[in-house]
């Protein structure tokens, strides 16, 4: 993706939303659909080929604002980093935002030859991932939910993980000077 496409990325609520022109004008294809999967005792999740292809060879994981894991394709992750690093590092909002987003992230994640990703233990604990998981394509990212947590999210809607969502939103607005 060229720099003009990356610059067209617009950050929204802790995630990056890419304009339609950027998606259509690049090789980026959106992550779509919902799959059920299992996570084994070693933390491995088998991801469908279509989703693997769209995440790419190297992707990033972080704890999302709603408590699940976000898996970002490398290009999307670079756009998020670009936005963060364009702000003054002494800005208190940026400091809080980076702790909440980058402090719960890992990059250069890869799939093994069988199409599985190993989710590190700290991520499994943060996102309450147990045996059953739900993989949801959300366009610019893949959400990885523990089934029980996803059921709670569906049941409680906007009130689920509200404190974390609000803290990230507030920090991002402060980081951007809004």
This prediction has a pTM of 0.83
Distance CA 100, CA 117 (A): 23
From the list 2, 13, 4, 36, the residue with the least C-alpha distance to 140 is 13
Walk me through the domains of the chain, giving residue ranges and CATH numbers. 3-175 (3.40.1550.20)
| Tokens read off for 27 | 């090789």
Q: Residue-wise pLDDT tens for the chain (178 aa)?
A: 333 333 333 333 344 433 333 333 456 799 999 999 999 999 999 999 999 999 999 999 999 999 999 999 999 999 999 999 999 999 999 999 999 999 999 999 999 999 999 999 999 999 999 999 999 999 999 999 999 999 999 999 888 999 999 999 999 999 999 8
Q: Which helix (H) or strand (E) holds 80?
A: helix 74-85
Residue found by looking up tokens 């702000």 in the block:
87
Query: What does the DSSP 8-state code read for residue 129?
Result: -
Coil, helix or strand at residue 134: strand
Contacts of 130 (CB under 8 A, 6+ apart): 39, 146, 147, 148
Distance CA 160, CA 156 (A): 5
């Amino acid at each position: 993706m060229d720099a003009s496409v990356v610059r067209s990325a617009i950050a929204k609520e802790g995630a990056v939303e890419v304009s339609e022109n950027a998606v259509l004008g690049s090789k980026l294809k959106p992550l779509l659909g919902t799959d059920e999967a299992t996570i084994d005792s070693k933390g491995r999740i088998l991801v469908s080929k279509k989703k693997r292809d769209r995440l790419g060879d190297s992707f990033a994981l972080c704890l999302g604002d709603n408590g699940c894991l976000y898996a970002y394709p490398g290009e999307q992750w670079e756009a998020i980093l670009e936005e963060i690093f364009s702000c003054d590092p002494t800005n208190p909002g940026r400091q809080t935002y980076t702790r909440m987003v980058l402090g719960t992230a890992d990059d250069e994640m890869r799939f093994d030859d069988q199409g599985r990703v190993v989710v590190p233990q700290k991520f499994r604990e943060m996102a309450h991932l147990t045996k059953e998981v739900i993989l949801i394509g959300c366009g610019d990212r893949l959400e990885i939910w523990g089934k029980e947590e996803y059921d709670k999210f569906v049941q409680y809607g906007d009130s689920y993980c509200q404190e974390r969502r609000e803290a990230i939103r507030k920090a991002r607005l402060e980081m951007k000077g809004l």
